Amino acid sequence: MAAASRLEGMQTAQDLIICEHCDSVYRRRTLARGDVADCVVCGAVLERHQWIGVEGQFALVVTSAIVFLIANLSPIVTLGLSGMSSATTLWGAVIAMWRDGAQLVAFLTAMTLFFFPLSQIAIFGWVLWFARSGRRAPGFARAMWALVSIKPWSMIEVFMLGTLVAVVKAHTYFDVVPGAGIWAFGVLTLLITVFSSLDSRELWTVTREDPA
Amino acid sequence: MNAPPRGRDLGLMSCHVCRLVTAWTEEPHAVCPRCGSPLHARKTGSITRAWALLLAAALFYIPANVFPIMRTQSLSSKDDNTILSGIVELWRAGSPGLAVIVFTASIIVPMLKFIILGYLLVSVQRSSGFVSRQRTKLYRFVELVGYWSMLDVFVVAILSALVHFKILSRVEPLPGVVYFGVVVVLTMLSAMSFDPRLIWDNRKTSQ
């Protein structure tokens, strides 16, 4: 592209975007609804149109927080065996693994299904609350770093599928009654799909430093 | 259509965290002017780290498959299942669809990760210019599917918590599941350490 010689200086740097997978440099374009900008060299997604505004994203985060609460407090499934019944929550699973000698797995489960998703919801909610009025929340830079780093380690949707597999396995020997928790995890999985089309890094461009 | 210029050739790079484009610097302590994160033109020690983590993962993958991951105990029997025997049981119990899903997540995905990451690392070290675009796509595939291997670990966790009927029936986790969890984490870390831009940097024949 002939633009190469005009790319000098920080002034124009704001309009540039570099592909994270092959280092190709592009000028940012205004994307219309539903548009996805792909790298022509390697096919990576450069950016997506942010089809939900900051207010909408905030509403989604609040929804996720409520559903997350339900998912963690309600039993996921209840098993019945000749008059006895046994139910578990997510934390029940964590504690069971810890007690039965699989502490490392208990730790992984607690982090990937509870602490990381919880932090994502809390941190994203925090920055969005301020972003609604175009401001950057206190600790904005660190919060944005945390959001990017935590993202790959949040595994709610895998747990959802795991629960289904466990239910089918248990179904052979026990009566299985799904609890509110499994529905809540199902809704969370849907919400995560919506969030995956959003890029939290866009908040850098829609917010300004507080003048104060 | 002409290929767009590369950041390295224009003296530009972007922040790993906030994507702000800045001037190229090799300075080790440089920080992003916008978000304050350390700036690296490329991930540091990418190839060495990715290899080390991948080899460690491959090593742990052996006990993860050999040792049983779960014990099912009832009044009359005690049944230890490995990953593979659990899948066979699921198939026999009349859920071939789920058996295929678990087989994909627990066996095929980890194997593909070993093969693909190994291939990407070797090809980058040999400065291959062969099918760069496809290799970058393979990398994205590994990143996308990587964490689904945790499936079996979560299945064991839920069953261990649920099936707790004193002496009548119990499910307990066995060491295999710990090794398997470690494999998933190590392969994810290995994929994260790999820098796909190296596929494009090191080409002997630039197109």
Average pLDDT over residues B77-86: 91
- Element (DSSP H or E) covering residue A119: helix A116-131
Average pLDDT over residues B169-196: 95
Cβ neighbours of residue A89 closer than 8 Å, sequence gap 6 or more: A72, A73, A74, A75, A76, A181
Q: Are residues A92 and A194 in the same domain?
A: yes
Average pLDDT over residues B91-97: 86
Q: Are residues B128 and B183 in the same domain?
A: yes
CA of A61, closest CA in chain B: separation in Å? Answer: 21
Q: How far is CA A86 from CA A23, B13, B83, B154, in A?
A: 54, 55, 25, 18
Cβ distance B17 to A144 less than 8 Å, yes or no, reads yes
Q: Are residues B6 and B68 in the same domain?
A: no
Q: Are residues A158 and A74 in the same domain?
A: yes
- C-alpha B63/C-alpha B65 separation (Å) is 5
On average, the pLDDT of chain B sits at 91
Examine residue A211 and state whether it is found in any structural domain, yes or no: no
Number of structural domains (chain B) is: 2
What are φ and ψ of residue A14, in 5° steps? -65, -30
What is the model's pLDDT at position B207? Answer: 46
- How much is the ipTM here? 0.89
Average pLDDT over residues B82-95: 89
B162: nearest CB among A82, A86, A155: A86
Q: Look up residue A75 and give its two tokens.
A: 């039993």
Q: Are residues B33 and B91 in the same domain?
A: no
Examine residue A88 and state whether it is found in any structural domain, yes or no: yes
- C-alpha A131/C-alpha A115 separation (Å) is 24
- C-alpha A52/C-alpha A64 separation (Å) is 15
Contact of A82 with B75, CB cutoff 8 Å: no
Mean pLDDT check: name the lowest of A97-106, B88-97, B188-197: B88-97
Contact status of B158 with chain A (Cβ, < 8 Å)? yes
Q: Are residues A157 and A78 in the same domain?
A: yes
Q: Are residues A60 and A146 in the same domain?
A: yes
Residue A121 β-bridge partners: none
What is the domain-level CATH number for residue B171?
Answer: 1.20.140
Q: Are residues B70 and B3 in the same domain?
A: no
Give the domain extent around A120.
54-206
Q: What is the pLDDT of residues B108-164, one digit of tens each?
A: 999 999 999 999 999 999 988 889 999 999 999 999 998 999 999 999 999 999 988
pLDDT-derived band of residue B205, with 50, 70 and 90 as boundaries?
A: low
- C-alpha B111/C-alpha B53 separation (Å) is 15
Find the DSSP H helices in chain B: 7-10, 46-66, 83-92, 96-103, 109-125, 132-145, 151-162, 175-193, 197-201
List own/partner pairs for A171-174 with CB under 8 A and 24 or more apart: A172/B93, A173/A81, A173/B169, A174/A79, A174/A80, A174/A81, A174/B163, A174/B169
Q: Are residues A75 and A180 in the same domain?
A: yes
What is the model's pLDDT at position B2? Answer: 74
Cβ neighbours of residue B82 closer than 8 Å, sequence gap 6 or more: B65, B66, B67, B68, B69, B176
Examine residue A212 and state whether it is found in any structural domain, yes or no: no
Examine residue A129 and state whether it is found in any structural domain, yes or no: yes
Give the other-Cβ count within 10 Å of B13's Cβ.
24
Q: Which of B135, B160, B203 to mutate to test the interface with A (most CBs of A within 10 A)?
A: B160
| Window 59-88 of B, Cβ < 8 Å to A | none
Examine residue B170 and state whether it is found in any structural domain, yes or no: yes
- C-alpha A139/C-alpha A148 separation (Å) is 15
Q: Are residues A107 and A170 in the same domain?
A: yes
Q: Are residues A126 and A183 in the same domain?
A: yes
Cβ distance B4 to A7 less than 8 Å, yes or no, reads no
What is the model's pLDDT at position A3? Answer: 41
Q: Are residues B80 and B123 in the same domain?
A: yes
What are φ and ψ of residue A178, in 5° steps? -65, 140
Q: Are residues B55 and B79 in the same domain?
A: yes
Examine residue B206 and state whether it is found in any structural domain, yes or no: no
Q: Look up residue B104 and give its two tokens.
A: 């994909």
Q: Which residue has the tokens 């190709």?
A: A24
Q: Are residues A180 and A160 in the same domain?
A: yes
Mapped onto helix, strand or coil, the DSSP state of residue A86 is strand
Give the domain extent around B113.
45-201
On average, the pLDDT of chain A sits at 88
In Å, how far from its chain's centre is CA B108?
A: 12
Mapped onto helix, strand or coil, the DSSP state of residue A37 is strand
In Å, how far from its chain's centre is CA A183?
A: 18
Q: Are residues A111 and A20 in the same domain?
A: no
Nearest chain B Cα to A45, which residue?
A: B140
Q: Are residues B4 and B96 in the same domain?
A: no
Q: What is the pLDDT of residues B22-37, one digit of tens each?
A: 999 888 889 998 888 9
Q: Are residues B96 and B165 in the same domain?
A: yes
Number of structural domains (chain A) is: 2
Examine residue B207 and state whether it is found in any structural domain, yes or no: no
Q: How far is CA B71 from CA A100, A163, B84, B87, in A?
A: 11, 18, 14, 14
What is the model's pLDDT at position A198? Answer: 87
Q: Are residues B37 and B56 in the same domain?
A: no
What is the model's pLDDT at position A14? Answer: 76
Cβ distance B139 to A93 less than 8 Å, yes or no, reads no
Q: Are residues A26 and A128 in the same domain?
A: no
Q: Are residues B79 and B162 in the same domain?
A: yes
Q: Are residues B11 and B36 in the same domain?
A: yes
* Positions in chain A short of pLDDT 50: 1-11, 212
